[in-house]
Amino acid sequence: MKKSKIGILSLAVVMGLSVFATACGSKSSGDGAKKKSITATMNSTFDGKFNPGLYDSVYDAYILDQTFASLWKQDEKLETSIPDLAESWKESEKKDAVSIKLRKDAKWSDGKPLTVDDVIFTWKFIADKEYSGSRFEYVESIKGAKEYHEGKAKDIEGIKKVDDYNLEVTFEKSDARDISTKVFSTPMPKHIFEGKPVKTLENDPAVKKAENIVTSGPFTIKEIKAGEFVVLEKNKNFYGAAQGKPKLDQIVWKVLQEDVAIGALKEGKVDMVSRIKPSSFETIKGFKDVELVEDTDLGYQYLGFRTDHPKLSDKKVRRAIAYAINREQMVTGLLKGHGTLLSTPVSPKSWAYNKDLDADYSFDPAKAKALLAEAGYKDTNGDGFVEDPSGKPYVLSLEFPKGNQVREQSAKLIREDIEKVGIKIDLKQPKDFAALAETVQQKADKTMEMWLMGWTTDVDPNPKNIYGSTAESNYYRWKSPESDKSIGVSMYDQKAFTKEGRKALIKDWTKIFQQDSPVVLLYSQNIIDAYNKRVTGVQYDYRGALGHPSFVDWDVK
């Protein structure tokens, strides 16, 4: 899940535009030299957890993508990992082990060498029993990681350091997934964090304060003003690798409400605007010297069910709700066509997407009513709403977070659609994202019934981490032996070792998922970014333009 908050415009933010009015392409340094600099905007504030093992927000991710290097990067087709910090790697024939060789010219921004010790430290950090972040799933498959995480072992058995630039990793068993999913790829500096308590690290100065943050990527963090801006400066110790060295000297990220950011873009006061609402597309389309780009996001929005709740334990009821919702109307109306309907929790951009299910769960109120009747939910008193099989009033609560305008509007449409087939909906007042997320994640909570949120998926489909019966992120409490078995086959069976074989096995799992409907997949909203044409070298794909690794090629005329 990604946090989504509404940015609050203040006088300080507006005044900040004049302080960082670098859209003309350069500014003078103290010695008279010109620095190439651009200003980009984000429409919600960053959390300020500038550490690859601790961040939660997509807005923190923008900063981290430009300041921290990874072992590898994904290509635009989501098929191949491209070498970066890792010069090369080789998996065993059974895919139960991998040897990784690091480049020898990589350094941290403070000049210290980046070695295997940093990689191992990071894996052990996110496998630590005190770690409360969401990335343990990226080391869980390493042999002994689970025992280390549970405090039953003092080390992770499957990690072996060969020398400063070579290591070997053994997995619990053969694993067909891409290497980018099996091991965490963005190292933290061991010499900065070693010996510090894991559970308190998110508030450490080396995570929060610009002067203390040590990075490994193309840029360093020069200045942070909470809720307002982050200034990035070219990292003089960056090695280049797959990306090359940045052409810009500085990138300024400002927090601006979208309407203000769009006005500033039109006037040339900012250079790039990220994650624009579909409703703003036509407005920006008419701007002179501004380029609009969009592509399908890897993430999706969903209606979640607490499947262990008595009101939602019958899959016929969940399927009825899926048929009742006019998702097509959301894409054409709320998204203005800038989105894609989803039938499975695999992105349409992925090689594993199951096109055969595209037509399933189309809007069909008659089928929804029929399924409710089959399950024993009928209107016995003539008030237009069904009672449960025991004759009691049947009302479902629906909760959603603040901060995403399209999501807030979709909550009302979903209530209207579901009530039209006879289910009474108690639409709650929107909550702050953090408060709602905490409630959704609490396994002991018995009040939650339905909610709206979103997921960002991996480039390599991995249903186990979200939909496995024992998965930490299975907030739906969906327990399906059939699903677990199918997921296991898609990851570990010999048939999964070829792409076509694994695609077929994931396709089998998506059918099970759809029949059980632990969630209703709503849509994938396109990422829409805009930039002034004086910024050159911009590329985009499913990561958008501002999240694309081509940022090292950004330049100004």
pLDDT tens-digit readout, 401-429: 887 788 899 999 999 999 999 999 999 99
Q: What is the pLDDT of residue 272?
A: 97
Does residue 457 sit in the same domain as residue 362? Answer: yes
51-100 per-position pLDDT tens digit: 999 988 888 999 999 999 999 988 777 777 889 999 999 999 999 999 99
In a domain, 543, yes or no: yes
Query: How far apart are alpha carbons 535 and 264 in whole angstroms?
Result: 15
Find the domain containing 42 and state its range.
11-67+217-295+527-556
Does residue 498 sit in the same domain as residue 537? Answer: no
Which range (105-119, 416-430, 442-456) has the least confidence?
A: 442-456
> Would the pLDDT of 45 be above 90?
no
Does residue 521 sit in the same domain as residue 539? Answer: no
Does residue 224 sit in the same domain as residue 350? Answer: no
Does residue 360 sit in the same domain as residue 456? Answer: yes
Does residue 265 sit in the same domain as residue 363? Answer: no
In a domain, 207, yes or no: no
**Per-residue H/E/C for 314-343:** CHHHHHHHHHHCCHHHHHHHHCCCCEEECC
| Mean pLDDT along residues 139-151 | 95
In a domain, 119, yes or no: yes
> Would the pLDDT of 6 be above 90?
no
Average pLDDT, the chain: 89
Q: Which of 429-438, 487-496, 527-536 has the highest mean pLDDT?
A: 527-536
Largest interatomic CA distance in the chain: 83
> Would the pLDDT of 24 be above 60?
no
326-355 per-position pLDDT tens digit: 999 999 999 999 999 888 898 888 888 888
In which band, very low, low, confident or very high, does the pLDDT at 299 lie, cut at 50, 70 and 90? confident
Here the CATH number for the domain that contains residue 429 is 3.10.105.10
Does residue 351 sit in the same domain as residue 472? Answer: yes
Query: How far apart are alpha carbons 83 and 242 in whole angstroms?
Result: 7
Query: How far apart are alpha carbons 250 and 264 in whole angstroms?
Result: 19
Here the CATH number for the domain that contains residue 224 is 3.40.190.10
In a domain, 135, yes or no: yes
Does residue 339 sit in the same domain as residue 281? Answer: no
The answer to whether residues 509 and 346 touch, using CB atoms and an 8 Å cutoff, is no
| Mean pLDDT along residues 452-461 | 84
- The DSSP letter of residue 380 is S
Does residue 334 sit in the same domain as residue 373? Answer: yes
Does residue 433 sit in the same domain as residue 320? Answer: yes
Does residue 315 sit in the same domain as residue 288? Answer: no
> Would the pLDDT of 438 be above 90?
no
The answer to whether residues 212 and 205 touch, using CB atoms and an 8 Å cutoff, is yes
Q: Who wins on pLDDT, 391 or 34?
A: 391
In a domain, 210, yes or no: no
In a domain, 203, yes or no: no
Q: What is the pLDDT of residue 21?
A: 41
DSSP per residue, 518-549? SEEEEEEEPEEEEEETTEES---BTTBTTTSG
Q: Who wins on pLDDT, 401 or 28?
A: 401
Q: What is the pLDDT of residue 557?
A: 84
| Mean pLDDT along residues 423-448 | 85
Q: What is the pLDDT of residue 473?
A: 85
Q: What is the pLDDT of residue 330?
A: 94
Q: What is the pLDDT of residue 348?
A: 84
- Percent of the chain residues topping a pLDDT of 90: 68
| Mean pLDDT along residues 443-451 | 82
Does residue 463 sit in the same domain as residue 484? Answer: yes
Tally of domains within the chain: 3
> Would the pLDDT of 551 be above 50?
yes
In a domain, 256, yes or no: yes
In a domain, 198, yes or no: no
> Would the pLDDT of 12 be above 60?
no
